[in-house]
Structures are given as structure tokens and as C-alpha cells.
Amino acid sequence: MTERSKSFRVFKFGGASVKDAPALRNLASILSSCKGQSLVIVVSAMGKTTNALEQLIALRTAKDDAFHEAFHKLKQYHSDIIEALFPRSAHPVREEAEALFSSLWTALHSLEMDKQAYYDQVVVFGELLSTCIVRHFLVLEGIEVQWLDARDYVITDKQFMNATVDWDETERRIGALKPSAEQGVTLLTQGFIGSAGKGLSTTLGREGSDYTAAIFAWCLDALDVVIWKDVPGLLNADPKRFDKVVKLEQISYGEAIELAYYGATIIHPKTLKPLQNKKIPLKVQSFHDPRLPPSLISEQTSFDPLIPSVIVKDNQVLVSISPRDFSFMNENNLHKLFSLFDEINLSIHLMQTSALSLSVCTDQSEEKLNILFQKLAPRFVMKYNTGLHLLTIRHYNQSMIDKLTEGREILLEQRSRVTAQYVIR
């Protein structure tokens, strides 16, 4: 028997998959059909809980009177799910959830730390609450699970809000779980969160639960990773934006990484590389209809160019930067500019250089742009347009370009043999 054949499968369930009592019943039904398999279940915060926690942080920081009402609303949301799932009033889930909300209250009132560190100490409670409720419900449904605190296993640096994984220590800790695979156990843990030690929680970046699933899979030499979504699989466009979308039955790791890089939200950008390195297949499967075949991401490249994919990023800004002196946009100036972009964590989605200027398309963040303008003003002239969209078409054809840009003002265009991008208004 090979090492891989004795290994775990890793299932990741996002916020929509645990947003209410019917969703949790569906989750339990999916897991019931996998009895006898060794599973790692990675769970996100319930519904829009992370957004609610971010609102609580903003209200508390601003000393806004609406803070107490928002806290009660979040607590009531989880209490309503508990009431729907656990009819017995004395069930221990209530006491555990109450303790977590008490700890959340304390974390929210610990304002003396750095803003980003403060954020991470608060938002982790979304995942801790969801896995508390999920664990107790699965046991109630006859599915025995072992609960793990991901902060004991995913070890990171102190780059709060977007921590970097310490792969050696993380592999040592998660790898110790490998023998459990032979017993067919089900492990339940949190996505998105980790620890920098000494009681400091960290997070892996928004939508980081996919990344957590890949981390566990890599460390455990998993059979595969299944990401359960409220869509039939990988789609070639956002169904909320486009009427006619096509399911991508199979694409390669490389193609999926490119789509993630350009902004496709179905897979977290950092998720795919660990899986590619160990050739662990990733499947995107329908949470609502598990009978549907999943989309498969693997080594196979033959499917890549068959179906064009469309990605639209909203709330973009186009910034054009030129030197004030007699210099050109040479290597020295580019080095200074990109060092500053890195310093303020400004992600560049598209760039174009000429002899006299650099144009970049980035997310419209007033805070970051103000810092950029202040630091560059002495040496550079800047012009910008806001409220734009970045349209990306992989495996494009001219008719698709014409259709998607019709009636739009194109401010910047860039094409390669495979990808066409347009900054449009």
C-alpha cells in the first residue's frame, strides 16, 4: 500500500456552506456519504461573519454607539443557528459559544496593539465559532470528529492580515497527524487562521480558507482537495455578472494559477502552488448537488485553451506617474516606484511603461493612494482616473473582445498571445 493511498482527503467548506441550519444539515449529509474515509474538514466563518467582525472593529475603533447593537446582532445570528440545530437546551454547545463570545468581547476591547495585529486577534473568532457549532452538530448526527485549533498547526510570521507560513514547523506539526489516516478519522479545523506563537493569532489573507486546505494537503500528502461551492464547479465567468457561463470540466494547475492571478475568485491565489508541487488534484464540487461531477485541476493541460474565461475587477484606479526632472522612466526610477508599491502593499494588476511614464492599474484604496501621492509628489507628477473596471479575457477571440468592450471607453489595453486586458470606463 502506497503512502498516498493511506492518506487523508481534504474538504473545505466556505461561509455559504455553513451559513444556516439547512446548510449544516447538507454538510452533514455530504460527510455521511464519506464514512470510512480519512478526512480533514476545513471550515470558514459562517455566512458573512468576517464582514460583521470587520464592522465591529471599525465601530469599536471609532467608539461608535452602534457597536453594542452590532455585537448583539452577530451573537444572535449564531444563537439562532444553535437553536435550530440543538433542541436540547442543556447542550454544551451553548456554553462553549458563550465562552467564545466572551473572549471576542475581550479581544475587541484590547485596543492597545497595532491595528493589523488587533484585526487578527478579533477576526479569528469567526472560524472558532463556526467549527465549535459544526463539531457539536456532526457528533449529534453520529459523525465522530476530532476538533483541531488551526493555530496550533499553521505556524506563521508576524505579518498580520497576510501572514507567511513557516513551512518547516507547520509540516512538522501537521505531519504528526499522518498516522491517524490509517484509523479513518475525521479531523475538523478552521480555515484562514494561524499563529505566530506566544498567543498571537494571525490570518492568511481574505479567502485564505482555500489556502489552509492546501497547507494541510501538502503536509499530509493528501489524496486530493475538494472545495465545496454554491456553484456547479469552476465557471468561465461570474454567473452573477454574465448570463451564459460555461463550466470548466478540467484545467491545469498553471491555468488555474493564471486565472487566480488575474482575479478569478473561485480559488485563492496561494492555494494552487503547494498542490502543484506535490501533484495533489484539486476538485471544485457543488455543495447543493454533490452528484454533479466536479471540476478538476491537475497536471493535465489538454483542456486549457478550449474555453475562454472572463474576469472583471471593479473599483479600479489607473495611475500614470512621470518624473518631474529631466530623467526618463528608466530602471532607477522603476526600482524606486516598485519599492514603494511593496512598502505600502499596493497590488498592481496591470502596468505599462513608456519612455516618460509608468501607468498602473490597482484597487481603489483611498488610504493607500494618499500615501502613494504624498511620497511621490516631490519627485513625480501623477494623474489618475477612478471608478474603473479591469477586464481580463483568457484565450480570447476578437468577437468576444468586441462584445465585452462595446460602448466602453478603453483607457489602457494590453495583449499577449493568450490574455487580453482592458482598463475600461
pLDDT over 90 for what percent of the chain?
Answer: 87
SS3 81: helix
Q: In 287-416, where does DSSP find H-type helix?
A: 331-343, 366-376, 398-405
Banded model confidence at residue 113, pLDDT cuts 50, 70, 90: confident
Is-contact 235 266, C-beta < 8 A?
Answer: yes
pLDDT over 70 for what percent of the chain?
Answer: 99
Per-residue pLDDT, averaged over 396-414, amounts to 96
pLDDT tens profile 300-350: 888 888 899 999 999 999 999 999 998 999 999 999 999 999 999 899 999
Per-residue pLDDT, averaged over 339-365, amounts to 95
Is-contact 42 12, C-beta < 8 A?
Answer: yes
Banded model confidence at residue 401, pLDDT cuts 50, 70, 90: very high
- Statement: residue 2 has pLDDT above 90: no
Per-residue pLDDT, averaged over 39-60, amounts to 97
Task: Tell me what pLDDT residue 35 has.
Answer: 87
Grid coordinates standing for 311? 474576469
pLDDT tens profile 249-265: 999 999 998 998 898 87
Task: Tell me what pLDDT residue 182 has.
Answer: 85
Q: Of the candidates 245, 248, 220, which has an alpha carbon nearest to the alpha carbon of residue 233?
A: 248
Provide the β-strand partners of residue 250: 296
Grid coordinates standing for 83? 437553536
Banded model confidence at residue 211, pLDDT cuts 50, 70, 90: very high
Place of cell 486530493: 224
Task: Tell me what pLDDT residue 3 has.
Answer: 53
Q: How far apart are CA 360 and CA 347, in angstroms?
A: 10
Kindly report the average pLDDT of the chain as a whole number. 94
Q: Could you tell me the pTM of the whole model?
A: 0.89
Q: In 262-412, where does DSSP find H-type helix?
A: 272-277, 331-343, 366-376, 398-405
Task: Tell me what pLDDT residue 322 has.
Answer: 96
SS3 123: helix
Task: Tell me what pLDDT residue 263 has.
Answer: 86
Task: Tell me what pLDDT residue 1 has.
Answer: 43
Tally Cβ neighbours within 10 Å of residue 249.
14
- Statement: residue 286 has pLDDT above 50: yes
Task: Tell me what pLDDT residue 4 has.
Answer: 60
Is-contact 211 225, C-beta < 8 A?
Answer: no
Task: Tell me what pLDDT residue 87 has.
Answer: 86
Architecture of domain 309-424: 2-Layer Sandwich (3.30)
Per-residue pLDDT, averaged over 34-48, amounts to 96
Is-contact 40 70, C-beta < 8 A?
Answer: no
Distance of CA 346 to the CA centre of its chain: 18
pLDDT tens profile 135-150: 999 999 999 999 999 9
CATH class of the domain at 4-223: alpha beta
Per-residue pLDDT, averaged over 222-244, amounts to 93
Positions of CATH 3.30.2130.10 in the chain: 309-424
SS3 222: coil
Q: In 147-288, where does DSSP find H-type helix?
A: 167-175, 209-220, 253-261, 272-277
Positions of CATH 3.40.1160.10 in the chain: 4-223
**Contacts for 367-370 with beta carbons within 8 Å, 24 or more apart?**
368/344, 369/317, 369/319
Q: What amino acid is encoded at 344 in this protein?
A: I
